Amino acid sequence: MVYDTVRALEQGFSIVVSKVVLSVVSLAAAGLLTKSLFLLRRVDPGFNATHLLTLQVDRPILAGSEPQTGQFL
């Protein structure tokens, strides 16, 4: 009975430790991503981007199965 209690406590402790480790890794990854995006905004693109016009074209949705859509494109 005591062995079962100790084993349950050890399992609970290992779950808590793994959650803390995953949280720290996720927080570090988020910080690195934020830093990378901040530094990316400061990079010179190599052209004058003041009066730049962009265009986005969506591919058409065809009635039919997926292989037919692949053949269209």
Residue 7's pLDDT is: 82
Q: What is the C-alpha R_g of the chain?
A: 26
Identify the domain containing residue 9 by its residue range. Answer: 2-72
pLDDT of residue 34: 97
Q: What is the pLDDT of residue 26?
A: 98
Q: Which spans in 1-73 are helix H?
A: 2-41, 66-72
Residue with tokens 């016009």: 53
Residue 56 or 70, more confident: 56
For residue 13, CA distances in Å to 4, 21, 25 come to 14, 12, 18
Binned at pLDDT 50, 70 and 90, residue 11 comes out as confident
Residue owning tokens 């959650």: 19
Give the residue with greater pLDDT, 49 vs 31.
31
Query: 34, 28 in Cβ contact below 8 A?
Result: no
The pLDDT score that the predictor gives to residue 73 is 53
Mean pLDDT of 20-40: 97
